[in-house]
Structures are given as structure tokens and as C-alpha cells.
Structure 1
Amino acid sequence: MSHILLPDLQEAVSRHCPEKVTHTAFDFLTLYRTETVTDPVLVVYEPRIYIVVQGQKVLHLHDHPLPYGEGQYLISTLDLPVSGQITHASAEAPYLALCISFSPTEMEQLLRESQSASSHQARKMAFQKNNSSPISAMGVSRITDELLDALLRLVGLLAKEGDQTFLAQLYKKELLYLFLHGQQGHVLREIAHDKSDTARINRAISHLRNHFQEQFEIGTLVDIAGMGQSSFYKRFGELTGMTPVQYRTKLRLQEARRLMVHEDMKAASAGFQVGYDSPSQFSRDYKKTFGRPPQADLRYIRSMGVETYKQQHENVWF
């Protein structure tokens, strides 16, 4: 691909995103900008489409690194706790990105309305292998000139006067169609079907996110997903790259760190608050995830400045 339109999109995003985060007039479109590299930050990637316009970042999916950068897009269809780090950014060439949110209902409706792909093509795309990502609920691909053109037209609406919401929704539908029939289409198709493995695992993940501080048998998730035990654990690992216990641990540690930094809670109290019975186990898990024991990590954050840490935490997920 020539990507002749990429510099135009870079200029447009930069012009409309003077701050670190710009929530645009279109509720599904958010723009991002940062001029410095960041430390790794544990965040939860929500189901979204993320396009890097300039710069580069790397995600760590449990123990698996997934770099992506300028001219690439990432699609995530599950809530996934990952460690994110912007690795290429400067004042002269800031990291620029945009995010498009969508719902399973939108994808389902688009699949029903779309008549362009034959049933043979649909089956082929549904089983297409994703070689860029170690998990099947997330994938990275190179952007196409068709996508660049549609993205440029969408961002261009921000410069026009009056309410452009109607056109923006049409452009969004066009973009979702292109993504659906692109290299990551199989990822999006899974989320559109409420009886797919992705949808079933997503129900279990929703329960995990709402109750991660509580003590409950992990086997409860099998019943919530409505799957057989062996197939549940197999598909959970394939989709997320971790076990349900590891997933819960990531959520607990992320919340514990937030309590320590934002609410000035002691490490032992934060560990207990998020569901740990053993302070030593909390400290071991914390060090394994963040690279430092709780108190040492808190001292490091304070040495860099809590506000600097908060800004990094706010901006690294996209």
C-alpha cells in the first residue's frame, strides 16, 4: 500500500487534537496525542478499534508483547487487562492515535445488512488466522488506503460548521464495514453473535470485572458462560492469553495501585480491599506485575510526580 494519505491524516488529527485527549463532537470518536514516551502502565483495553496515526506503542498481554505503530490498527473485542507503553513520541513527532467505539449490536446489524460477501467468503474470513497477535480476541493489521480515505473524511468533518452527526454516522458505518471485511474481520464477526465463544467468555469477564474483589469459585464463571468446563478454560486462554485467575489478579493489582496512588491507601489495606488475604502474596504478585514491591513502586511514582503518573495512566491505553 502506498499510504499516500497518511501524512494528511496525521496533520488532521494533530490539528484537531491539541490536548492529550480530545473527545470529539461524535460520541464514537476520540483523538489522542502525547509528546513523550511512557512507562508501562496496567490498563484494561475495552472493545474498540485503535488506529495509530504516528508513533509506536507496545502492549504486553500477560507475558506476550504486541507492538503496533504508525499505519497500523488494532481491534479488541473483549475487556483485556494489558500493560501498555508508548515507545515512540516526541514534541516534533508526537504519538497520534484515534479510537472508534462500537457495540456488538452495531456489528450484528451490519452483518445482517451487508450482502457483498458470499457465504464462502464469510466462512473463509471467520476462520482466517491472525498471525500478529498471540490471542484471538485482539489483532493488529496494516491500514489500507480505503480505510485511510474513510478516516480522513471522518476527521475532516470536525472542521466543518454545523451538526455533522448524520454524515459522521454514515462514515462510521462505512469504516466498520471496511474493518469487518478486512484482515481482522473474523475478530469482529465473533463479537456480533451472542452465542459465539467470544460472547460467552465476555459474559464471564463481565462478572469478573464486577466481582473481582470478592471471593468466589472460579468455576462459577463456567456456569455463567454456559460452556463445558474444558472448553471454557481452553477458549478463555485462547482469547485472553491468560487463565481466569490470572485475569482476576491483573484487575486486583490495577485497583490496588489506584487505591495507593489516588486515595493514599496503605499497601496492606489496598491488598485486603481488592481481595487478598495474604500481604506476602499480594506483595509477590505486585512485584511480578509492576517490577517493584508496593512501597518501592509508590516511592517511584511519587519521585516522578503523581500528576505525571496520572497523565501517563490516562493516555497510554489508546
Structure 2
Amino acid sequence: MPQDRLAALQAAVSRHCPEKVTHTAFDFLTLYRTGTVTDPVLVVYEPRIYIVVQGQKILHLHDQPLPYGEGEYLISTLDLPVSGQITRASAERPYLALCISFSSTEMEQLLRESQSALSRQARKLTLRKENSSPISAMGVSRITDDLLDALLRLVGLLARNSDQKFLAQLYKKELLYLFLHGQQGHVLQETAHLQSDLSRINRAIIHLRHHFQERFEIGTLVKIAGMGQSSFYKRFGELTGMTPLQYRTKLRLQEARRLMVHEEMSAASAGFQVGYDSPSQFSREYRKTFARPPQADLQHIRRMGVDAYTAQHEDVWF
């Protein structure tokens, strides 16, 4: 990767992102920066393309580490609860990143309009060889020269006053095309097909995210996905790195922590609110996830300052 072009992209992102989070004039593009490393924070990564321009961070997918940093991009195709931590950042050389959102409809249209130079099987072999993720719905790859050039053109549009949004949509289409035919292209293809395993699991995950406080039978999720039970369990684990119950636990604990910090709810009430009948089970699982029991964790956050804690959530979201 030519260092001069990477340096140009770093300068452009830094110039257009003076604060922690910048929602740009393009609704699909968000810029991020932070000048400090962060503690691990549990967040949910939505389907997006995340590109680190400068610095480094690490995600933990159900205790499996996934580092990615300068000159790398991460594609997430499902809503995944992960622990995120920025591990390389300073005031002199801040962590810089950008996020590109996309929809399954966009991918479907792009697939109809384009023909791949690589076969589906070739893309699968490339992914197995180079994707460093322990799960198949999220992976890290190096930015290619073509991607770097396209990103430079897109960010460069932010300095222009005319035809920004029209050209931005064209540049976005170019970027999605390049990602679609890159190392993780076959995963993006799966998002465009309603009957793919990824789309089926995603429907179950959407239901789980809306009903995680409730008791549920695994058969409900299997029915929503429209799969056999054994294949549902197998594909859910391959795509998320978790069982459905482990996924639900992550969502429950994240919401309980939010209730304690921002709603000033007691640990017992927060645990009950998110679906726990047993305070001891809630405390045990909370400590396993956040390394401290609920009350000690709340005291730690208050010592840090709620504003600082909230800022860290914004930082590690990307």
C-alpha cells in the first residue's frame, strides 16, 4: 500500500473529523477519531464496513480476539455483540476511522448489474486463506490500492460545495463493487439473498434483539429462520461465534449496564428488567463479561465519570 496515499487519507479524515464522531453530509459515511486508548466496552456492531485509517483496536467475539488497525478494514454483516477496545491512539497520532453503511437492497442491485471476474468458489478459497476472523459474518482484510484510491476520492468530496451528494453515491457504488469483489465478497453476496443462511439467521437475530428480555423456545428462532434445528444451531455458531443463548446473554448484560449507568437503576432491578430471575446468576454472568461484579463496575464507571464512559462507547463503536 503506497504510504503517501495512506498519509493523504489520514490527513483528509483528520481534517474533516475534528471531534470524536462526525456525521458527514453523506448519510452513509461517518468519521471517527480519538486521542486516547480505551477500556474494553461491550457494544453491538451493526452491518457496516469499518476502515481504520490510523491507530489500532481489538474486538473480542465471545472471548475470541480480532485485532485490526491502520490500513485494514472490517466487514460486519450481522448485528454482533462484541467487546471493543482502542489499543493504539495518542494526542499526537489519534485513532482515525471511517464507517460506510450499506443495505441488502444495494448489494442485490449491484449484483444484478455487475459480473464478477472471480468465481464464487474462488472467493470462498480466498476468504478461507486470508480472513482472520474466527466467525464468518465478520472479517478483517487489508485495504487494496484500488480501495485506497476510491476512499480518497470519497473523503475528498467533503471539501467540495457542488455536486457532493450526487458524486458521493457514485463513489459509494464503486467502493461497494470493490468490496464485493474483494476477499470477503462472498459474505457480502449472502446479504443480498433473502434465502441465504446469513439472511435466515439475521431474521432470527432481529427477533432476538427485540425480545431478549423474554423467555423463548429455541423452536421459535428456528421457525423464524425457516431452517432445521441442527442446521440452525450450526450456522448460528459459525456466523456469530456464539449460541443463541450466549448471544441473548450479551444483549441482556449490555442493556443492564446501560440501565445502571444512565437510568440509575440498582443492579437487582436492572437484572430483573432484562430478564434475570436470579440475582446471583446475573451477578455471576455480569462479572464474567465485565471483569467486575455489578456494584463494583458501577463504582468504577462513576470514578471514571459517566461522560467519559459514554465517550468511550462512542470511540469503540467503530
TM-score range, shorter chain: over 0.9
Give 1:220 shift: 1.1
Confirm whether residue 313 of structure 1 aligns to residue 316 of structure 2. no
Equivalent residue, structure 2, for 1:186: 186
CA contact under 8 A between 2:32 and 2:96: conserved in structure 1? yes
- The residue type paired with residue 68 of structure 1 is Y
d(CA) in 1 for partners of 2:177 and 2:275? 42
- The residue type paired with residue 2 of structure 2 is S
CA contact under 8 A between 2:131 and 2:183: conserved in structure 1? no
CA contact under 8 A between 2:131 and 2:184: conserved in structure 1? no
TM-score, with structure 2 as normaliser: 0.97
SS across alignment from 1:242: coil
Give 1:116 shift: 4.2
d(CA) in 2 for partners of 1:303 and 1:212? 30
Equivalent residue, structure 2, for 1:122: 120
SS across alignment from 1:4: helix
Give 1:80 shift: 0.1
Equivalent residue, structure 1, for 2:142: 142
SS across alignment from 1:219: helix
Equivalent residue, structure 2, for 1:234: 234
CA contact under 8 A between 1:3 and 1:148: conserved in structure 2? no
Equivalent residue, structure 2, for 1:208: 208
Give 1:214 shift: 1.1
Equivalent residue, structure 2, for 1:245: 245
d(CA) in 2 for partners of 1:116 and 1:213? 43
Confirm whether residue 33 of structure 1 aligns to residue 33 of structure 2. yes
Structure 1 unaligned spans of 5+? none
Equivalent residue, structure 1, for 2:84: 84
Confirm whether residue 20 of structure 1 aligns to residue 20 of structure 2. yes
d(CA) in 2 for partners of 1:5 and 1:244? 43
Equivalent residue, structure 1, for 2:66: 66
CA contact under 8 A between 1:8 and 1:152: conserved in structure 2? yes
SS across alignment from 2:74: strand
CA contact under 8 A between 1:24 and 1:31: conserved in structure 2? yes
SS across alignment from 1:74: strand
TM-score, with structure 1 as normaliser: 0.97
Write the mapping of 1:238-317 to structure 2, written as runs, cut at 5 A: 238-317=238-317
Equivalent residue, structure 2, for 1:199: 199
Superposed CA RMSD: 1.0
Structure 2 unaligned spans of 5+? none
SS across alignment from 1:171: helix
- The residue type paired with residue 120 of structure 2 is A
d(CA) in 2 for partners of 1:192 and 1:58? 28
Give 1:126 shift: 4.2
d(CA) in 2 for partners of 1:67 and 1:77? 17
CA contact under 8 A between 2:212 and 2:274: conserved in structure 1? yes
Equivalent residue, structure 1, for 2:220: 220
CA contact under 8 A between 1:59 and 1:85: conserved in structure 2? yes
Say which is worse superposed, 265-274 or 157-166, in terms of deviation.
Answer: 157-166
